[in-house]
A and B are shown apart, each in its own frame.
Chain A
Amino acid sequence: MSATAAVELIGIEKRFPGVIANHDVNIAVRPQTIHAIIGENGAGKSTLMKTLYGMHRPEQGQVIVNGVEQHFRSPSDAIDVGIGMVHQHFMLADNFTVLENIILGAEPVNGVALNLKKAHSELEKIATSAGIEIDLDAFVSDLGVGQRQRVEILKVLYRGAKVLILDEPTAVLVPQEVDELFVNLRQLVADGATVIFISHKLDEVLAVSDDITVIRRGTTVASVKPGDVTQGELGELMVGDALPTAEPRTTQVGEAIRLEIESVTVNSPDAAVSRPVVSEASMVVRSGEILGVAGVEGNGQFELCQAILGLADYEGTIRLDGEDVGSMTTRHRLDTGLCYVPFDRHEEGLMLDAPLWENLLLTRDEEPEFNNGAFVNQGNVRDATRDTIEKFGVQTPDETVPAFALSGGNQQKLLVGRELDSNPSVMIAAHPTRGVDIGAQATIWSHLRDERDAGLAVLLITADLEELLALSDRIIVMFDGLIHAELDPATATPKILGTYMTGGRPEQAA
C-alpha cells in the first residue's frame, strides 16, 4: 500500500440478538479511489457501513480513519472526521428547495438570520468542482430520482465529507442514470474524495471501482481488483456457489385469458392532482403466462394493483376469468382466484406481532378446511402453515413464532407460500424477491415457474431487471401512468428497458 489508508477496518465484529451480523471484517480503502463493497442482500454490508458511520458501535475491532483510530458514538462523530453517508432511501423534504434541503441542519447564519447567499455561492463551488449539475433553487418535489440522489451527495459534501459512503446508490436508478452517477463519482475522486460504494450488482462494481471487497455471511472473503476477475468469478465469490440461472421454459402459454384489464384509469387520491396516476391501461394475462411490468417505482404500478384488488376506485373494466369484477369487494375478488404478493410485506402483508399460522390465515380465512362453523380450525391452519414452511424452506423453529422474529427473506418466503398455496388462478406478484438472499430467490422463482406451468397467470411487478427478464413471457413498461411499451424479453436488454422506463424510445436514445 502506497499511502495511509483513508479508511481501515480491522477485525470488526458486530452482533445483534441471535445473529452475528459482522465478524472478522478487514478492509483497507486507499485514498482517492472508488472502493466497492459487494455482497448479497443480508450479507452484512449495511451493518458494516452503519458501524463506519457511527450509527452503532462494534463489539470488537478498530475503525481507523487517515491513520487515527476512531470510536464513533454517533454519526456526527463520523461527520466530524469527514465521513459522509448517502442513504439508499432519500431523506429530503419535498416542499423545500434543493438549497434548503442541503443546508438543513447545518445552516450558515448571520447572527440568527439565515445566510442563504453565502450558502448558495459555497454550494455552487462545491457542485462545480464535483461536476454535479443541479438547480439549487428548484423544489425537490420537481426532481427525478437521479437528481435527488445528487442532492443527497451534495448534502454530504457540504458538510465537508472526504469519504463518501453510498449505500446501494443504483438500486433506485435506471441504467442511464447509473452511468451519470458513475461519471459524478469519478469526478469526485479526481477532486480528492474517496468513495465507498455498496452494491450487489456485479456489472456495476466491475465498471466503476478501483478495488473490490467481497462480503459473504458477515465477513470479508476476498479483496480483488476489477481487472483480475470476471463477472462470473466475482459472483461466485459473493454467493459461494453458482448464480441462479433462468432456464428457458418448456411449457406453452395457455389460451384462456385469466386477467383482462381494459382501459383502466385511476385518479389520484389527492384531489389537487388532476392527472390520473394510471391512464387508460389495458393488458391481458393468459393462463400459464407471466406478464412482467417494468417501470421505475411510482409510475402507477401500485395504483394499478390497488385497482385490480378493489382497493382503489377506477374507471374502465377489469375481468377475472372473464367476469367483470367492478362490483365485487376485495374479498370477493380474492375468493374468485386472485391473490397478491404485496409491494411492502410489513405494511400490506403481515401482522408482525401475530404467530406465523395467524399470518397464513390472514388472506385465507374463508377456506373451508380452516373453519369450524364460526370458529377458526386452528389445528388445520397450523398443519397447513407447517406444510408451507417446509415447502418454501422458511427458516423458523415452528409455526407459533411471531412473524417479527423471522428475517425479511423468510417472511417473504412465507408470504409467497401463503399466496401460492391458496390455489389461485391469477397472482399479482409485486417484488416477490425483494430483500431476500439468492437462495431464497431461487426457491421463490422455481415455485413461481412451477405454478405458471400448472396454469397460473402472473402479473409480475419488479424493479429487478434480472428477475423481469428471467421470468416474464412478455414485458410491458409503465411510465407516468401509461403503458409505454410492450417488449419481448428475448430481445429486451437492461439498456433498452432503461430507456423505456425513463419515458424515452431507443431510437431517440441512440
Chain B
Amino acid sequence: MSIVEESPSAPAEQSEQSADRARRRARIEAGLVTAGSSVSAVLIAFFLSALLLLVTGKSPGVVSSTMWEVATTTRFQYEMIERAVPFIIAGVAFAVAAKMNLFNIGVEGQYLFGMFWAAVIGANVELPALLHVPFILMVAMLAGAFWAGIAGYLKVRLGVSEIISTIMLNAIALQITDWLFNDFFRFDDASGTLDVRTKPIPETGWMPDFVDGKLNSYLVIALIVCVVYYFLVFKSRFGFRLRASGLNATAASTSGISSGRMVMIAMLISGAIAGLAGLQYLLGEAHSYGPARPSGYGFAGLSVALLGRNNPIGIILAGLLWGFLEASAGPLQLEDIPRSIVNVIQGITLFSVVIVNSVISRWYTKRTTEAAAARLSMEAAA
C-alpha cells in the first residue's frame, strides 16, 4: 500500500486484517493437513512395527537405538542420502504422471531401459568430460521416454489402460535388456575375468563423489529434477493444463485442452525422468551395466510419491525416509534383527498413508466447506 493513499478507516482495516488472518490460517491448515497425513502414517507404521517386534520376541528398543545411531552417524547419513537419490528421481517420475491421473507403474521398466542404453551408448562414444555426462543423461531420458511413450501411445490410440500396459512393459523391459545384454553387449574383457558386464564408460562420463567413496555428486541431478518438477508442474501454464486434466478431464477437454496430447506428453516426461533414476549407479559407481544392477527403484518411487503426496518437498523427505530405512537394514542385521523389518515398516507406512489420506481428505472437505461458510458469515456481520 502506498503512503500517499489515505489510510482506510479503522474498522475496515481491522476486518481486512481478520480476513487476512483467516486466509493465512486456511492456507497453513491446508499445508498441515497435507503433511500431517503422511507424518501420522509414518508414526502409525513405526508404532505397529514396534508391536510386531514385541510379538516376535525382538526388542523394539534395540531397533530404535540402532536406527538412532544410523540417523546420527555421518557415514550412515551419506548412505541414506545416496540411497535416497534414485528413490526421489523415481518418485518425481511417478508424480508427474500421477498429477494427471495416470498411474505409471512402469517407472521400473523405464529406468532399466534408460540405464541400459545409457551404459551401452555412453561407453561407445568419445566426448570431452563436459559433454559426455550430459550426453549420457540425454540418452537415458530418451530411452525412458520412449519406453513410457509406448504406454502413452497405446492409451491415446487404443484406450489401453496405462496400468496394464506399463506392468507388461516392465516385464518386457526386463527381458529385452537381459537378452540384448547377453547376446550383443557383453563386454569380453581380454583379462578373462568372470566379471560380466557391458563395456565400461570412459572416465569422461563419470560423476565424481563429493566425499570419497560416499555421497556422489549425482544428488545434484535429483535436486534439479525436483526443482524442474516444481516449476514445470505447479507454476507453468503447461503444468496447469496437466493438473487440470488430472482434476477433471472432461472439463479440461471442454476448455480446449487436448487430453490425448496431454496423456502423451505426461507419459514422455514421466518416462524421461524415470530414465534418470538408475544413473547414479551407472555414472557414480559401476560405470557399466551388468546383472548386478539395482532393481526396485520404480516401486520405491511409487511409494515415495504416494507418501510425499506428489509434492516436491514431500518427495524429497519421503525419499530420505526410504533411504534411511534402507541404510538401517545393514546395521539392524548386525543386531540380529531381520532385514525384512525394514520392508515391513515401508509396507505399513504405505498402507497407513493410503488409509489416512482418504480419511483426512474427507474430513478436510467438510472442514473447508464449513470454514468458508463461517468466514462468509463473519464478513457479512462485519
| Residue ranges of A at the interface with B (Cβ–Cβ < 8 Å) | 17-19, 309, 311, 329-335, 340, 342, 347-354, 358, 361-363, 365, 371, 374-376, 395-398, 400-402, 404-406
Q: Which of B260-314 contact A (CB under 8 A)?
A: none
* Interchain CB contact under 8 A, B240 and A331: no
Contact A365 B241 (CB under 8 A): yes
Could you tell me if A404 and B240 are in contact, using CB atoms closer than 8 angstroms?
Answer: no
- A351-B248, A401-B372 known; 14 new pairs, CB 8 Å cut-off, are A18-B372, A311-B254, A351-B251, A352-B247, A363-B255, A365-B241, A374-B237, A376-B237, A396-B376, A397-B19, A397-B23, A400-B27, A402-B368, A405-B368
**Contact in complex: B373, A17 (CB < 8 Å):** yes
Q: Which residue of A lies closest to B248 (CB)?
A: A351
Asked if A354 and B247 make an inter-chain contact with CB atoms under 8 angstroms apart, the answer reads yes
Closest chain A residue to B378, Cβ basis: A397
Q: Which 9 residue pairs spanning A and B have beta carbons closest together?
A: A18-B373, A331-B256, A397-B375, A351-B247, A405-B372, A330-B256, A18-B370, A17-B370, A363-B255
Output the nearest chain A residue to B239 by Cβ-Cβ distance: A376
Question: Which of B27, B258, B372, B376 is in CB contact (< 8 Å) with A331?
Answer: B258
Let me know if B256 and A329 touch, CB within 8 A. yes
How far is the CB of A415 from the nearest CB of chain B, in Å?
10
Contact of A406 among B253, B365, B372 (CB under 8 A): B372
A residues less than 8 Å from B191 (CB atoms)? none
Decide if A397 touches B379 in the complex (CB within 8 Å). yes
Q: Which of A350, A371, A376, A405 has the most CB of B within 10 A?
A: A405
Chain A residues lying within 8 Å of B255, measured Cβ to Cβ, are: 330-331, 334, 362-363
Residues of B within 8 A of A19 (CB): 373
Q: Does B358 contact A (CB under 8 A)?
A: no
- The answer on a CB contact under 8 Å between B248 and A330 is no
When the two chains form their complex, are residues A375 and B236 in contact, meaning their CB atoms are under 8 A apart? yes
CA distance A111 to B178 in the complex (A): 61
Q: Which residues of A contact B241 (CB under 8 A)?
A: 365
Q: Point out the residue from B19, B235, B236, B254 that lies within 8 Å of A398, measured CB to CB.
A: B19
**B379 and A375 contacting across the interface, CB-CB below 8 Å:** no
Tell me the bound Cα distance from A292 to B271 in angstroms: 49
Expressed in whole angstroms, the Cα–Cα distance for A331 and B257 within the complex equals: 7
Q: How far is the CA of A371 from the CA of B240 in the complex (A)?
A: 11
A18 x B369 contact (CB < 8 A): yes
Say yes or no: B244 contacts A371, CB within 8 Å: no
A residues near B247, Cβ cutoff 8 Å = 351-354
The contact string, 1 if C-beta is below 8 Å from chain A, for chain B 333-371, is 000000000000000000000000000000001111111
Indicate if the CB atoms of A374 and B238 lie closer than 8 Å.
yes
Contacts of A348 in B (CB 8 A): 250-251, 254
Residues of B near A351 (CB, < 8 A) are: 244, 247-248, 251
Interchain CA distance A99-B248 in the complex, whole Å? 38
B252 at the interface (CB under 8 A from A): yes
Chain B contact residues: helix, strand, loop or mixed: helix
Query: For residue A331, which residues in chain B have a CB less than 8 angstroms away from its CB?
Result: 255-258
Q: Report yes or no: B254 in contact with A330, Cβ–Cβ below 8 A.
A: yes
> Which residue of A358, A362, A371, A395 contacts B376 across the interface (Cβ within 8 Å)?
A395
Contacts of B257 in A (CB 8 A): 331
CA distance A332 to B257 in the complex (A): 10
Complex: A349 Cα to B244 Cα, angstroms: 11
Name which of A332, A334, A348 has the most chain B CB atoms within 10 A of its CB: A348
Instruction: Give 18 A-B contacts (CB < 8 Å), ordered by A residue.
Output: A17-B370, A18-B370, A18-B371, A18-B374, A330-B258, A332-B256, A334-B255, A342-B251, A351-B244, A351-B251, A353-B247, A354-B244, A358-B240, A362-B244, A362-B252, A365-B240, A400-B23, A404-B365
Q: Please tell me if the beta carbons of B240 and A342 are within 8 angstroms of each other in the complex.
A: no
Q: B68 within 8 Å of A by Cβ? A: no
Kindly report which residue of chain B lies nearest to residue A334, judged by CB atoms: B256
CB closest residue in chain B, given A377 = B237
In the bound complex, residues from chain A placing their C-beta under 8 Å from that of B244 are 351, 354, 358, 362
Report whether B251 and A347 are in contact in the complex, using a CB–CB cutoff of 8 Å. Answer: yes
**CB of B135, distance to nearest CB on chain A (Å):** 26
| Among B26, B258, B373, residue most surrounded by chain A Cβ atoms (within 10 Å) | B373
A396 touches B237 (CB 8 A): no
Nearest CB on A from B15, distance (A): 12
B254 touches A349 (CB 8 A): yes
Q: How far is the CA of A374 from the CA of B231 in the complex (A)?
A: 10
Q: Does B224 contact A (CB under 8 A)?
A: no
For the complex, what is the distance from the CA of A354 to the CA of B255, rounded to whole Å? 15
Q: Are B254 and A340 in contact (CB under 8 A)?
A: yes
Report chain B residues within 8 Å CB of A335: 256
Q: How far is the CA of A329 from the CA of B252 in the complex (A)?
A: 13
Q: Does B22 contact A (CB under 8 A)?
A: yes
A311 to B252, CA, bound (A): 12
In angstroms, how far is the closest chain A Cβ from the Cβ of B223? Answer: 20
